[in-house]
Amino acid sequence: MTLPPAIEAKNLFKVYGRHPRDAMRRLRAGATRAEVADAGSAAVIDASFTVQPGEIFVIMGLSGSGKSTVIRMLNGLLPPTAGDVLVQGTSVVKASAKELRGIRQRSISMVFQHFALLPHLSVLDNAAYALEIQGVGRDERRARAREILDRVGLGDRADAMPDELSGGMRQRVGLARALTAGTDILLMDEAFSALDPLIRREMQEQLVELQRELGRTIVFITHDLNEAMFLGDRIAVMRDGRIVQNGTPEEILTDPANDYVAQFVQDVDRARVLTAGSVMAPPAATTPVSAGVRGALRVMRDLQVGAVSVIENRRFLGTVTDRAVIRAVKDSRTDLRSLVRSGRPAVHVDDPLTGVVERAVESPLPVAVVDDAGRLVGTIPRVTLLAALGDVPPVTRENPVIDLPASVPASEIAQTLAVVEEPGAATGPAGRAAPPSRLAPEGPRAMEGASR
């Protein structure tokens, strides 16, 4: 069964002034804010979006873009000039005053930028205040408030007064009050913008953790794109009252809708936003463990690569290199599993690139990417990783660089296979197989030779 959207905003307009209807008519025809200034001041222009249950939906824009006006229309603090807002299927615009109070008590809580704590109440009673308004008994509301205060790290400050707390602690009390209310939806208007950077980052991480635990739907307003990218499942970017792009953080970062959005994202930390799955290449150099060492060597010869990923029933086991396989052939070993480098764990398809960078530094081999079942779904060579972080295409001249170059000459691989598969084709004294040519040196010098 598909759940209805938690919030639906339909063609919202908010125009202040003496002739709002005339301004809206011209705005619908394509006029800008400045062009309708004689008829009214357009704060929000034809804004539409949906917020799914359990989602963190971020509305981002500069001061004056209309984002705070939008959030105030979502809970009926501001009536729209035109359009509608549905909260769990109920129209906020058409609701009576009594119905609107019920929606706010049952469905929506709000966290403000400047805390809005009651100075004469303790931390515990501030956190329980929404339940007091709902008529919940003192003991019950205090018990529920204590539970939430423990979750936000303020259980030991329940009896303190607001003026005894730091700014970060006060904002935690505001968040605890919204969570204690038990509503499904939280509206957060620049809730962390007044905090110091370190405290702000801590609050962002705590909000994500709480959302995972409690499954609340959150609409978060911010002017900070890094904050939006960190928190948001989806982001709506606003400019001059209009939503200019609505998408996932990855979509906005890699495919900005216009130059305005592109300017916004140019300084974003791409490693925190992009995932392994968004930059990986198809796993071309693979071999089943059942193919043995000779099968792995054939794949390396045919693809001219220095390593292959070994799989079993599509599950990633690890990686083998050309040097290790040739030694095994010379030693008459056939078990490929014994050669697998299993100490280099793969990354999950949803892992951010910050974790991939660490793996890429540790080894020159491409980083393997797996899904929930451990199946190999892609690899990330260093060049692809660097290209993604630098927002450049991962190509060298005309050919994309996908896998680790071979560190053993192709002629040596071919000679080794020929010796094994056709013993009479190359023999030395007394009928013994002639040994392959001396292996190229290992380490950085070998890599330098491969790159040349």
DSSP string, 35-98: GGTTT-EEEEEEEEEEE-TT-EEEEE--TTSSHHHHHHHHTTSS--SEEEEEETTEESSS--HH
On the question of pLDDT at 405 being above 80, the answer is no
- Kindly indicate the confidence band of residue 414, based on its pLDDT and cuts at 50, 70 and 90: confident
Give the position of tokens 């759940």.
Answer: 3
For the domain made up of 277-446, give the CATH fold.
Answer: CBS-domain (3.10.580)
Give pLDDT, residue 427. Answer: 41
How many degrees, rounded to 5, is the angle at CA 358 between CA 357 and CA 360?
Answer: 65
Cα distance between residue 224 and residue 70, in whole Å: 17
Q: What is the pLDDT of residues 234-250, one digit of tens each?
A: 999 999 999 999 999 98
**Best CA proximity match to 149, nearest among 118, 133, 125:** 125
Q: 275 vs 28, 63, 181, 272, CA distance in Å? A: 38, 30, 35, 8
pTM comes to 0.73
For residue 318 the two structure tokens come to 């690890």
Question: What amino acid occupies position 167?
Answer: G
Give pLDDT, residue 451. Answer: 37
Q: Between residues 149 and 382, which one has the greater pLDDT?
A: 149
Superfamily of domain 7-107+183-268: P-loop containing nucleotide triphosphate hydrolases (3.40.50.300)
- Kindly indicate the confidence band of residue 407, based on its pLDDT and cuts at 50, 70 and 90: low
Q: What is the pLDDT of residues 81-117, one digit of tens each?
A: 999 999 999 999 999 999 998 898 889 988 877 778 8
Q: Between residues 186 and 344, which one has the greater pLDDT?
A: 186
Q: Between residues 6 and 452, which one has the greater pLDDT?
A: 6
Q: CATH 3.40.50.300 occupies which residues in the chain?
A: 7-107+183-268
On the question of pLDDT at 397 being above 60, the answer is no
Give pLDDT, residue 77. Answer: 92
Q: CATH 3.10.580.10 occupies which residues in the chain?
A: 277-446
For residue 171 the two structure tokens come to 């904002």
Lowest pLDDT segment from 35-39, 79-83, 151-155, 229-233: 151-155
Q: Between residues 1 and 297, which one has the greater pLDDT?
A: 297
Average pLDDT over residues 255-272: 85
